[in-house]
Amino acid sequence: MVVRIAGGRVSAGVLKDLANIGYLASALVAGGPQFEAAVVHHTQRGTRFLADDKSRRGFADLIGADDAAVAREAVTSPGQTVHSDVGLLGTATVLPNTITISGRAYEVTAGLVNQESE
């Protein structure tokens, strides 16, 4: 199963979706099947533009959001944000222990995928 999220960052909605997937899997199969949640960020993310003050403010104004909250969504260093998001998933108490979590950063121009966290 692939769950794609615009912006790719772990949010309350992502946690809810993964908790739901884990719950359904355990309801269908006794003990629940093991599966992996892989967080993958890439170097040509559109959210990198949220690091630019003018772009971020324009987007924040458009959606009626707090500028600082939108700034936290910027992905300028995929390795760092993957590590952060894997940490959030790893400490989420709503996720069953049948889900393993890993993180990867994809360097688009080089065509390389780096394991960032497991």
Long-range contacts of residues 50-55, Cβ cutoff 8 Å, at least 24 apart: 50/74, 51/76
In DSSP notation, 61-108 reads HHHT--HHHHHTT--S-HHHHHHHHHHHHHT-TTS-TTEEEEEEEEET
Per-residue pLDDT, 7: 73
Question: Could you report the per-residue pLDDT of 96-109, keeping only the tens digit for each?
Answer: 888 889 999 888 88
Token pair for 96:
């069953």
Q: CB under 8 Å to 28, separation ≥6 — which residues?
A: none
Mean pLDDT of 53-63: 91
Note whether 74 and 51 are within 8 A (CB).
yes
Domains of the chain by start residue, with CATH: 12-46+77-117 (3.40.1050.10)
Q: Are strands 35-42 and 112-117 parallel, antiparallel or unpaired?
A: unpaired
Confidence of residue 2 (pLDDT cuts 50, 70, 90): confident
pLDDT tens for residues 71-97?
Answer: 887 777 888 889 999 999 999 999 988
**% of residues, the chain, pLDDT over 90:** 28
Contact (Cβ atoms closer than 8 angstroms) between residue 118 and residue 103: yes
